[in-house]
Structures are given as C-alpha cells and as structure tokens.
Amino acid sequence: MDAFQGLLAGFQVALSWEGILFVLIGVVVGTLIGMMPGLGPISAIAIMIPITYGMDPAPALVMMAGVYYGAVFGGSTSSILLNAPGISGTVATSFDGYPMAQQGKAGKALAIAAIASFFGGTVSVIMLMLLAPALASVAISFGPPAYFALMLMGLTAISSLSEGSTIKAMISAVAGIMVVTIGIDPQTGTQRFTFGNVNLLDGFDFLVIALGLFAIAEVCMLIMNRKNRNLSDDQKLGSLKVTRADLKEMSGPMTRQSFVGFMLGVLPGAGATIASFISYIFEKKISKNPEEFGKGSIKGLAAPESSNNAATSGAFVPLLSLGIPGSGTTAVMLGAFLVLGVQPGPLLMSDRPEIFWGIIASMYLGNIFLLVLNLPLIPYLAKILSIPRPLLISLVIMFSLIGVYSISFNTFDLYMLLLFGALGFAMRVFSFPAPPFILAFILGGMMEQAFRQSMTISNGSLSIFVNSPLPLALIIVSLLSLTIPALIKWRSRRLLLKQ
C-alpha cells in the first residue's frame, strides 16, 4: 500500500461516524483539560486509558491523539487570561498574551492564539503526512553531542528574553540551572541537593516552577497592587476582531515557527515547551521592533502558539514511525497504544496502515473542530476576567493547587508551588526576570546530561563536539549569536565616539 492509498484508508477511518465522534470527544476533553491551569495532556491520556479497554484501536487512538493536541490548543487560554500556563508548552504564550489581555484586548489575544494554533496544527499535519517516513531519519540524527550544542544555542538566547539588566537575567538563569540539578543524577545515580528528602529525588516538575513563578507570583502582585484596577470588573473583553493588518503581521511568524516547531517536535526530548521558547526568541531576534515583545506583541503571541501546536504533531513522527516516545506525554501515549495491542514502530505503517494514517487524517479534522469550537467560546472564556477580583484570585490559586497536585498526587509539591510563588514574587519586586530562569531550567538539565554522556562516550575528549558537522554547525551558530550583537554594539559605540 503506498502513501496515497494509505491516506485514503486513513480518511475512511477518520470520516466514519465513529471516527468523527471520537475525534470530537478527544479534542473537547483535551481543550477543556488544557484550559485548566496545570492540568495537561499526560493526566488526560492516563485517565482515558482504562476507558479504551476493549475499544477498536483505531478510534481509540484517534481520540487519544485528539486529547493530546486538543490540550495544547486549549492550554493558551489560561496563559493569556490569567498568566497561569495551562500546560508547560504554553508558558511562552503568556509573555505577550497576558500583557495583551491586560490592555483590554483579551478577546483578540484569544482569537490570535486560536488562529495561530490552527495554522501551526494544520501545517504540521501536512508535513507529517508528506514526510513522516522520511523524517524518521531526522528524528534519530541527534546524538548527545548534537543535543548539547542545540541546548547551548538555546541558552545563548537568554539575554534576549529579558529587558533591563543583563546581569539580573544571568543570575536568574544560573538559579534555574542550579534548581534543575536537584534530584538523582542519571549519569551517576547519586543524589544531589536532596538533603535526604525522598520527595526531592526526582527534582522539581516543570509545572511546579512555571505555575509558581508565573501564576502565584502574579496573584501576589495583584494582591499587593490593590489600588491598580488592572484586572477587575471594568476590564473589557475588547473586540474579537482580528483585522487584516493583524493577520498580515502574524503570517510571517506563523509560517516560520510552524516549521521550526515541527522540526523541534520531531527531535525526541525537545518537544512543545522548548519549541515554543525557541520560536519566541527566534521571532524576537529577527524582529525590527524587538522592544515590542513582552508588551503585547502580536508576533510574540503568534510565534509560540503556532510552534507548540506544530511541535505536538512533530512528536508523532518518532512515536509512530520509530516507536520512540520523545516526551513524558508521548510515553504515556505509547502505553495507550500497547494496551490496545498496537505496537508503534517502523512497521506500523505497513502492519496497521489504518491506524497510522487514521491518526494523521483525524488531525486535519481535529484541528478544524478545535478552531470551530474555540472561536465562538472566546467571548464566554474572556468573561472569566469579569469575575470579581477576590474570587478570581482564589480561583487561580485553587486551580494551580489542583494542577500541581495532579502531577504526582503529592502534597509536598504544593508547598514547593508556594515556595516558587514566593520566589517569583520576590523576583518581580526586585525586577529579576522569570523567563531566563524557566528557560535555563528546561534547557540546562538536558544540556548537562548531554554533555556528560558525550564526555563518557569520547573518554573525556572535547573534540567530540567539533568532529561531526551537526554539533559543530550548532556551536558556530551559538557563538555567532553571542558575538554579532556585541560587535554591532561595539561598532556603533565607536561611531558615536568618533562623532
């Protein structure tokens, strides 16, 4: 069966009444769970595994996939409205989405996020359909040295994630790297900074930190600035209308970042969170007005939103075509496949074409459903902001607590949420930016592990990073991105001095 026939068979699955029904159930459950701060696709999929016992595998897996990308789609809502990331992939969405909502443009921000998500989702499904078998080789092209170089490239962008003091941004980033070292070190099996506490053995979950530094810190700020009525009854939903000019402005970032997000999603271990950050930084770096970023820029919102949705489809490449789960969520997905008696891997496409192509075909449908469902909901969702402030604050706190508790059902995590909330609040007060902390936390851990894996493989020789083209190219790019801005600055200063 060739790809075209396969795809036809796939659409037969996706467009059967069963297929349509289960895609719909999947995306509705996914969006709703994604909207709750902290509750993400992992818990949604895990909850649904027992429901699928005895079901026909094709519709069951189509539904599971729908839950996954539906959650990423819906995750932007609470990032934009409440500064509380719905899932880890939408932390970057809040950088510009939340300022927009505060400026009374909540409706527009949600509409832009929905359109960008739809665009990213659809572009990436097309790529998934055309390139999935070919991309399998891309997914395994990254060895430890290349991962190290990729993470290094991401970290060199830290300075561009902050305004004001570079030193404060660096301190914040170093703190992020320090926090990620807590727990059992995979390369030696020794405990680092756990102080004998079993709850620290696995280190901190990303969401504990993201919700603490963003949602809880924001709540503290709101309580402190009681007189500023920047989030209260008189807040307007604003026009929903996305003008032609807006569309034109977002088309560039959407197109570029759908590709970037998809390719990063294909790499095991990278995923939607890293993709959204890198896309945000990418757009800010190439923007003519980088100073607009972080203050409600349409580009700054569209970039991470199209990227994280594209990365979600990208993550299906290693899962479906290699049987390699690249993240915690896809690992749970893999478990769902196995329970249903389907083995994802290199032979899935020939053994079970209806499942392989059925999932891909259903994603077209799922993305359309998501757009159609989400757009009319926006006015109602944005009404959240008209909830009286004391009530809203309590709700944010409550949902953050529920979200964190649902990660591993451990009350210890709740205290840690409060701790990081306090830290985030202190950082706000003393104007230390939080994004570098978060970025260093997600990249630093992988970077350290990749570095040490490389060192073991090469018996301690650093030449492993320059001996093959991929890591070498990435290291050169990161060096350039560090030196070029400095050079430009130095030159313009010299020009000024001459004058």
Partner 1 sequence: MKKTWLTAILAAGALTLAGCNSDNSTEGASSGEGGSFEPSKTIEVVAPAGAGGGWDTTAREVARIFGETGIIEENLTVINKEGGGGAIGWAYIHGQDGSAHNMFVASPPLMFVPLNGQSEHGHEDFTPLANVIADYGAFAVSADSEWDDLNDLFDQMKEDPESVTVVGTSSPGSMDHMQFVRIAKAAGVDPTKIKYVSAQDGGALTSVLNGSVDVFSTGVGETVEQVRAGNIKVLGITAEERMEGEVLSEFPTAIEQGIDESFINWRGFFGPPNMDQAAIDYYEEKFKELSESEEFAEVRKKYGWSEMYMSGEEYKEFLDTEKQEIQTLLEEIGLGN
Task: Compute the distance between CA of residue 357 and CA of residue 58 in angstroms, rounded to an integer.
Answer: 10
- How many CB atoms neighbour CB 4 within 10 A? 9
- Burial (CB < 10 A; 0-12, 13-18, 19+), residue 302, is buried
Nearer to partner 1, 279 or 327 (CB): 327
The CA-based diameter of the chain, rounded to the nearest angstrom, is 79
- Closest approach of Cβ 209 to partner 1, in Å? 16
Q: Rounded distance, CA 400 to CA 215, Å?
A: 7
CB of 50 to partner 1, least distance (A): 7
In the complex, the smallest distance separating the C-beta of residue 34 from partner 1, rounded to whole angstroms, is 18
CB-nearer residue toward partner 1: 26 or 325: 325
Cα(420)–Cα(360) distance, rounded to whole angstroms?
Answer: 39
Give the Cα separation of 73 and 23 in Å (integer).
14
Which residues lie below 8 Å from residue 319, measured CB to CB, with a gap of 6+?
325, 326, 330, 333, 334, 344
| Closest by Cα among 99, 114, 110 to 309 | 114
| Beta carbon of residue 415, minimum distance to partner 1 (angstroms, whole number) | 15
Is the CB of 143 or the CB of 290 nearer to partner 1?
A: 143
| C-beta closer to partner 1: residue 431 or 467 | 467
Say if residues 63 and 52 touch (Cβ distance below 8 Å).
yes
Nearer to partner 1, 60 or 322 (CB): 322
Do residues 89 and 41 lie in contact, with contact meaning Cβ atoms separated by under 8 Å? no
Minimum CB distance to partner 1, residue 436 (Å): 23
Among positive and negative, which fits the CA dihedral 448, 452, 457, 461?
positive
CA neighbours closer than 13 Å in the CB half-sphere of residue 269 = 18
Shorter beta-carbon distance to partner 1: residue 256 or 452: 452
Least separation, in Å, of the C-beta of 270 and partner 1?
Answer: 9
Q: Which two tokens stand for residue 240?
A: 């929903």
Count of beta carbons in the 10 Å neighbourhood of residue 197: 11
Angle at 177 (CA atoms; ends 291, 290), nearest 5 degrees:
10
Question: 498 is written with which tokens?
Answer: 């001459």
Provide the binding-site residues for partner 1, judged by CB under 8 A: 42, 45-46, 49-50, 53, 139-145, 147, 184-189, 191, 198-199, 201-202, 268-269, 318, 322-328, 331-336, 338-339, 341, 343-347, 408-410, 449, 452-453, 456-457, 459
- Provide the minimum distance between the beta carbon of 43 and partner 1 in the complex, in angstroms, as a whole number: 8
**Closest to partner 1 by CB, 201 or 462:** 201
**Judged by CB, which is closer to partner 1: 297, or 308?**
308
Select from 379, 334, 367, 324 the least CA-distant residue to 136.
324
In terms of CB distance, is 251 or 456 closer to partner 1?
456
Instruction: Name the minimum Å distance from CB 461 to partner 1.
Output: 11
Measured from the CB of residue 451, what is the shortest distance to partner 1 in angstroms? Answer: 11
